[in-house]
Amino acid sequence: MATPDFSEPEELTARERRALESLIKRLADDEFVLAERYTEWQVRAPTLESDLALANNAQDELGHARLWYDVLGDLGYTERELVYERDPAEFRHSTLVELPFEDGDWADAVLRSYLYDVAEELRLEALEDSSSPTIANRVAKIQQEEGYHREHAQNWVERLAEGESNGGEGHKRLQAALDRLFPHALTLFESCAPPRGANDANDASGDKPRAAGSDVEADIVDLGLRTATLEELGEEWLAIVVPYLESLGLDVPESGQTGDGEFEFEVTQEMLPDERGRDGTHTDAWADLYDDFTHTYRELGRSEPTKIMEIPE
Amino acid sequence: MSSNSPEPTETDATPCAYTEYQSADGDVAAELPATGANATGLESEVWDALYEIEDPEMPISIVDLGLIYGVSVAAGVATVDMTLTYSGCPAREMLTEEVEETAAAVEGVDDADLRLVWNPPWTVDLVTEQGKEDLREFGLSI
């Protein structure tokens, strides 16, 4: 097979296009939705520094979402179509990023950030040599900004895990957040359902939730768009987060660790939540969040998200 | 060309140099920071015009800030390769529109095409000496 040339977006085959689109939605939707959740902490985080830090991380993630959505601009999509007018069932983010925070549950925010940022670091590495030059050329900029996120998350996770105030309240909250979030974090490595209407001979259409999406995931790797499989990324992720969390005295839910300390990414149905995001199924919280962030756009009858107002007649 | 001219170093010139359409994020990073110091003709005039655009938050030209990676003009179309200091830059639209309009307004330029590029990523190393001076005067330590 000839190496696909992703530098000529107009000349992509349907299969190449579908793979590119699915990969970008995985990346961009995660970043965009996580940013939406992070911003809920603005003026509510426990200290001024942490407030500014998380708000800034949210802004970073919005910037990265835009960098990724821009790649789809080459395929003719606009930001309006991709964000404000997209059917909520067509979003492909992991459910980890859409879950609401319980009021004031800072442990959830920092643990979620940690689980996500480790995964993001790994997948960015696997995009450095992407066969799409547009993707590869964006990686360094994003990596330049992402390093701080993990550092910030780890600082806080460690502070909460080690703190002894209120009878180890921080540790308890972290454990509760870990029990709740871990199954959703595993969905970061789940297969994506392809976009609706992208049906082909392989039946892998996203017209139904949970359509067999493994074809499109195999394509992403076969076409060189990403140089590691989801299983490989998941295993690397487990090998980092499990020992780290255990070193803080946290109990990690079932994680695929084998007896000799190696990790196998063998996720069973029981380990996963009912809704997995990537396959087009979402928690109820997603519908609410989607309504929230599209509210003003709809209310004002906008057609251009970045224009503040129409030019008066 | 006379027969005793030096070894030919260029391939045959074509009437329109604007036939090679690199994808955005192409290989633009030859020599950064770029300031247009060696540019001539219309390209030099586009650089001069871009020099007049200031960063929205600091009194420094966007050229001295190192945001412009390259300018070329062919067949009346100015192509500007530009980056932003930060992926989440809230002034993105404002700046890119201003750059495009400014380049297109140069006499002899009919249209401008802006390509937002991210590689290599911007760092403070791309600020020119003049830019560093401007920023120091503004009160930043750089």
ipTM strictly over 0.90? no
Question: Which of B88, B89, B119 faces A137 most closely, judged by CB atoms?
Answer: B119
- Whether B120 and chain A come into contact, CB under 8 Å, resolves to yes
Q: Which residue is closest to A146 within chain B, CA to CA?
A: B87
Give the pLDDT band (50/70/90) at residue A208.
Answer: low
Instruction: Indicate whether A244 pLDDT > 50.
Output: yes
Max Cα–Cα distance, chain B, nearest Å: 59
Instruction: Indicate whether A99 pLDDT > 60.
Output: yes
- Inter-chain touch B119–A142, beta carbons under 8 Å: no
Mutate to test the interface with A, among B20, B21, B22, B23 (most CBs of A within 10 A): B23
Instruction: Indicate whether A259 pLDDT > 50.
Output: yes
Please give the angle made by the CA atoms of A211, A217 and A219, to the nearest 5 degrees: 115
d(CA A173, CA A111): 10
State pLDDT tens for residues A115-141: 999 999 999 999 999 999 999 999 999
Sequence-distant (6+) residues with CB within 8 A of A253 are A178, A179, A182, A183, A271
Evaluate whether A303 touches A84 at the Cβ level (below 8 Å): no
- Inter-chain touch B88–A144, beta carbons under 8 Å: no
Query: Which of A8-12, A84-88, A259-263 is least confident?
Result: A259-263
Homologous superfamily of B41-138 in CATH?
Fe-S cluster assembly (FSCA) (3.30.300.130)
Question: To which H or E segment does residue B82 belong?
Answer: strand B77-82
d(CA A69, CA A88): 16
Q: What is the DSSP letter of B117?
A: -
Q: What percent of chain A has pLDDT over 90?
A: 66
d(CA A133, CA A229): 19
Query: Which of A170-174, A211-215, A298-302, B17-21 is least confident?
Result: B17-21
List phi, psi (to 5°) of A238: -60, -40
Say how many CB pairs under 8 Å bridge A and B: 51
Evaluate whether A18 touches A202 at the Cβ level (below 8 Å): no
> Amino acid letter at B88?
G
Evaluate whether B50 touches B78 at the Cβ level (below 8 Å): no
* Residue indicated by tokens 């009160």: B139
CA distance to partner chain B, nearest, from residue A59 (Å): 6
- Inter-chain touch B120–A140, beta carbons under 8 Å: yes
Residue numbers in A near B87 (CB within 8 A): 60, 63-64, 66-67, 141-142, 145
Question: What mean pLDDT is reported for chain A?
Answer: 87
Please give the angle made by the CA atoms of B91, B96 and B101, to the nearest 5 degrees: 130
Residue numbers in B near A306 (CB within 8 A): 93
- Whether A133 and chain B come into contact, CB under 8 Å, resolves to yes
Q: A229 vs A16, A122, A218, B105, CA distance in Å?
A: 17, 11, 8, 49
Give the pLDDT band (50/70/90) at residue A92.
Answer: very high
Closest by CA to A268, choosing from A171, A211, A158, A186, is A186
- Inter-chain touch B86–A145, beta carbons under 8 Å: yes
Q: Which of residues 164-183 of A touch B (CB under 8 A)?
A: none
- Inter-chain touch B118–A140, beta carbons under 8 Å: yes
- What does the DSSP assignment read for A192-226? PPPPTT---TT---TTSTT---HHHHHHHHHTTSS
What mean pLDDT comes out for the span A182-195?
91
> A299-310 burial by CB neighbour count: b if 16+ within 10 A, else e?
eeebeeeeeeee
Cross-strand partners of B80: B71, B114
Please give the angle made by the CA atoms of A298, A304 and A307, to the nearest 5 degrees: 110
d(CA A217, CA B31): 38
- What does the DSSP assignment read for A146-174? HHHHHHHHHHHHHHHHH--HHHHHHHHHH
- Whether A17 and chain B come into contact, CB under 8 Å, resolves to no
Which pLDDT value is given to residue A209?
52
Q: Which of residues 60-119 of B touch A (CB under 8 A)?
A: 86-90, 93, 116-119
Which pLDDT value is given to residue A10?
83
Domains and CATH numbers, chain A: 9-299 (1.20.1260.10)
Cross-strand partners of A131: none
CA distance to partner chain B, nearest, from residue A289 (Å): 21
Closest by CA to B51, choosing from B10, B8, B99, is B99
Instruction: Indicate whether A197 pLDDT > 70.
Output: no
CA distance to partner chain B, nearest, from residue A66 (Å): 8
What mean pLDDT comes out for the span A18-40?
95
Which pLDDT value is given to residue A96?
97
Give the pLDDT band (50/70/90) at residue A176.
Answer: very high
Strand pairing of B77-82 and B68-74?
A: antiparallel
The pLDDT tens digits along chain B (142 residues) read: 344 444 444 444 444 444 344 444 445 555 788 998 888 899 999 999 999 999 999 999 999 999 999 999 999 999 999 999 999 998 999 999 999 999 999 999 999 999 999 999 999 999 999 999 999 999 998 8
Instruction: Indicate whether A71 pLDDT > 50.
Output: yes
What mean pLDDT comes out for the span A83-96?
94
- Whether A67 and chain B come into contact, CB under 8 Å, resolves to yes
Residue numbers in A near B123 (CB within 8 A): 144
